[in-house]
C-alpha cells in the first residue's frame, strides 16, 4: 500500500526515551511484506525475567496470542525474549500458523541460549495469510542488539501507523529511581478488549510476575481499554511487559498492593495513557482527537459503555469530522447504550459550553460557540446521565474519508 501522510495529530517529534538496564533490542529488514523498511523487532533480556501479558479477548486470536498464553499462564511468568513481526498477523492460519510460531520460538530461543517457553511472539498485519518463517529466520543471525534506538524499534512494529509511538517515565521505589519505557503500534482495527494493536513495556524495577500482571491489567484497564478508532477488536491485541530488576537495590516486590509501588503504579498508568492517546491520534484518517467524559452513571462499567456508544457512533464521528455540533446524535447514542440515564435530568457539554439540561436545549446555548469548538483539533464531550456516581473517560477520533481510502487500499 502507499506510504501514508503523517497524522496532523501526531506529536512534533519522537520522545527521547532512556534505555532500560538489562533489556536490549534489535531490528531487521526481512522483506517478508514490506520493502525498504525494518519489519522485525527482537527484544532480549540477559536471562529469563519477570513478565506479564494482557491479550485480546477476540474469539479468533492469532497464533502468536495462543503461543503467548501458553508461555505466560494466567498472564504471568518469565521471559528471555520477544520476537515481533509486522505485515502478517499469522491469524486464522490453522496448524501452519501454530507450526510457524513453534519454529520461530525455537530458533530465537537457540539464538539467545534459552528454552522456547521463555520466548514470546507477536505478529501484526493482514489476517488469513500464512506466515512464511524463512525470511524471519534468515534475519536472526544478523541481529545486532543495542544498535537500534527506541524509535527504530517502534517503526519496526508498524503497519498503517503514520508515526512511531513511545513514552517513558521514572518512578521511585524505596531509594531507587526506576525507568518505565514503552512503545506501541496501532492505527486501525482499534477497540482493544483486554488493535490491530501491540505494546511493549520495559522497566528495571524488581517486581515479581504475580504483582506485575496485576499492575499491568489495572493500567491497561484505564488506558488501552478506554480507546476506540473504529470499534473493531483485533485478533492480535497484545501488551507485554518485562521487569529486569537490574541496577536497583530494592528487594523484589511480590504484591501489587505493596505501598512501595504507589508511585510506580501512577507512572505506569501515565505511560500507558500516553501511548493509548498516541494510537488514537494516529487513527486512520483522523483529523480530531476526542475526549468523552461520562459522569453520573450507575457504575464505572455503565459509564464506559455509554462512552463507547458515543465514541463508536458513525453519525457522531462524521459530524465531528464536519465540524457540526449536532448534539442530538449524542442523545441518540446515550439512549441506545442500554444503560440507565435520566432523560429529564441529563446534561451535555461541548467544550466548556452547557448545551442541554433538564430534558431540553439550554436557553443560553450558542450554536456559533459550539461550532467554533468543533473546528478545533481537540474535541471535548461531557455527559452527565444523572443516575449515580459512576464515571469513565473514553478517547476516540473522528471518521473521515481518509479512513475509507486507507482501508480500501490496505492489501494492495
Q: Which domains does the chain have, with CATH numbers?
A: 23-281 (3.60.70.12), 289-408 (3.10.20.340)
Give the pLDDT of residue 263.
98
Q: Where are the alpha helices (DSSP H) in 282-327?
A: 300-311, 314-321
With 90 as the cut, is the pLDDT of residue 409 above it? no
Residue list for the binding site for substrate: 159, 185, 196, 284, 407, 412
Evaluate whether 122 touches 69 at the Cβ level (below 8 Å).
no
Confidence of residue 117 (pLDDT cuts 50, 70, 90): very high
Give the pLDDT of residue 186.
81
DSSP state of 260: G
Handedness of CA 195, 197, 203, 206 (dihedral sign): positive
With 80 as the cut, is the pLDDT of residue 228 above it? yes
Per residue in 27-67, pLDDT (tens digit) is 999 999 899 999 999 999 999 999 999 998 888 999 999 99
Mean pLDDT of the chain: 93
Residue list for the binding site: 159, 185, 196, 284, 407, 412
3-class state of residue 273 by DSSP = helix
Confidence of residue 410 (pLDDT cuts 50, 70, 90): low
User: How many degrees, rounded to 5, is the angle at CA 282 between CA 122 and CA 40?
Assistant: 30
This prediction's pTM: 0.93
In the chain, what percentage of residues exceed pLDDT 70?
95
Question: Which grid cell is 348?
Answer: 451535555
Question: Which grid cell is 375?
Answer: 473546528
Question: Which grid cell is 293?
Answer: 467524559
Per residue in 243-299, pLDDT (tens digit) is 999 999 999 999 999 999 999 999 999 999 999 999 999 988 899 999 999 999 999
Evaluate whether 244 touches 45 at the Cβ level (below 8 Å).
yes
Bridge partner residues of 304 (DSSP): none
Question: Which grid cell is 151?
Answer: 524509535
Question: Which grid cell is 124?
Answer: 501484526
Give the pLDDT of residue 195.
43
Residues 353-357 have a mean pLDDT of: 97
3-class state of residue 204 by DSSP = coil
What whole-number distance in Å separates Cα of residue 204 and Cα of residue 376?
40
> What values do phi and psi take at 99, rounded to 5?
-65, -40
Question: Which grid cell is 16?
Answer: 527521547
Evaluate whether 11 touches 46 at the Cβ level (below 8 Å).
no
Per residue in 99-114, pLDDT (tens digit) is 999 999 999 999 999 9
**Residues involved in catalysis:** 196
Evaluate whether 100 touches 214 at the Cβ level (below 8 Å).
no
Confidence of residue 412 (pLDDT cuts 50, 70, 90): very low
3-class state of residue 319 by DSSP = helix
Amino acid at each position: 500500500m502507499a506510504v501514508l501522510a503523517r497524522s496532523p495529530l501526531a506529536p512534533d517529534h519522537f520522545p527521547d526515551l532512556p534505555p532500560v538496564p538489562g533489556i536490549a533490542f534489535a531490528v531487521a529488514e526481512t522483506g517478508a511484506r514490506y520493502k525498504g523498511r525494518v519489519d522485525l523487532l527482537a527484544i532480549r533480556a540477559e536471562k529469563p525475567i519477570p513478565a506479564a501479558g494482557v491479550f485480546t479477548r477476540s474469539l479468533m486470536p492469532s497464533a502468536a496470542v495462543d503461543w503467548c498464553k501458553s508461555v505466560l499462564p494466567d498472564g504471568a511468568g518469565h521471559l528471555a525474549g520477544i520476537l515481533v513481526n509486522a505485515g502478517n498477523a499469522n491469524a486464522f492460519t490453522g496448524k501452519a500458523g501454530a507450526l510457524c510460531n513453534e519454529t520461530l520460538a525455537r530458533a530465537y530461543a537457540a539464538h539467545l541460549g534459552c528454552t522456547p517457553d521463555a520466548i514470546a511472539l507477536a505478529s501484526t498485519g493482514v489476517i488469513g495469510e500464512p506466515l512464511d518463517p524463512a525470511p524471519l529466520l534468515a534475519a536472526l543471525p544478523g541481529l545486532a542488539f543495542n544498535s537500534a534506538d527506541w524509535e527504530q524499534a517502534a517503526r519496526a512494529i508498524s503497519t498503517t501507523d503514520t508515526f512511531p509511538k513511545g513514552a517513558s517515565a521514572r518512578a521511585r521505589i524505596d531509594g531507587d529511581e526506576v525507568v518505565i519505557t514503552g512503545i506501541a503500534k496501532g492505527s486501525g482495527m482499534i477497540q482493544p478488549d483486554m488493535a490491530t494493536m501491540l505494546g511493549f513495556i520495559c522497566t528495571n524495577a524488581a517486581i515479581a510476575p504475580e504483582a506485575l500482571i496485576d499492575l499491568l491489567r489495572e493500567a491497561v484497564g484505564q488506558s488501552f481499554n478506554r480507546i476506540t478508532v473504529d470499534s473493531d477488536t483485533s485478533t492480535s491485541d497484545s501488551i507485554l511487559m518485562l521487569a529486569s530488576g537490574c541496577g536497583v537495590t530494592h528487594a523484589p516486590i511480590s504484591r501489587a498492593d505493596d505501598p512501595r509501588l504507589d508511585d510506580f503504579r501512577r507512572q505506569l498508568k501515565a505511560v500507558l495513557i500516553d501511548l493509548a492517546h498516541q494510537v488514537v491520534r494516529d487513527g486512520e484518517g483522523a483529523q480530531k482527537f476526542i475526549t468523552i467524559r461520562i459522569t453520573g452513571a450507575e457504575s464505572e462499567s455503565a459509564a464506559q459503555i455509554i462512552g463507547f456508544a458515543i465514541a463508536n457512533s458513525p453519525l457522531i464521528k462524521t459530524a465531528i469530522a464536519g465540524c457540526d455540533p449536532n448534539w442530538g446524535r449524542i442523545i441518540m447514542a446515550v439512549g441506545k447504550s442500554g444503560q440507565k440515564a435520566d432523560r429529564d435530568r441529563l446534561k451535555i457539554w461541548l467544550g466548556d459550553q452547557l448545551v442541554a439540561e433538564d430534558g431540553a436545549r439550554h436557553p443560553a446555548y450558542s450554536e456559533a460557540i459550539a461550532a467554533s469548538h468543533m473546528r478545533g483539533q481537540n474535541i471535548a464531550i461531557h455527559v452527565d446521565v444523572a443516575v449515580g456516581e459512576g464515571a469513565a473517560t473514553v478517547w476516540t477520533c473522528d471518521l473521515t474519508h481518509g479512513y475509507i481510502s486507507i482501508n480500501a487500499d490496505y492489501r494492495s
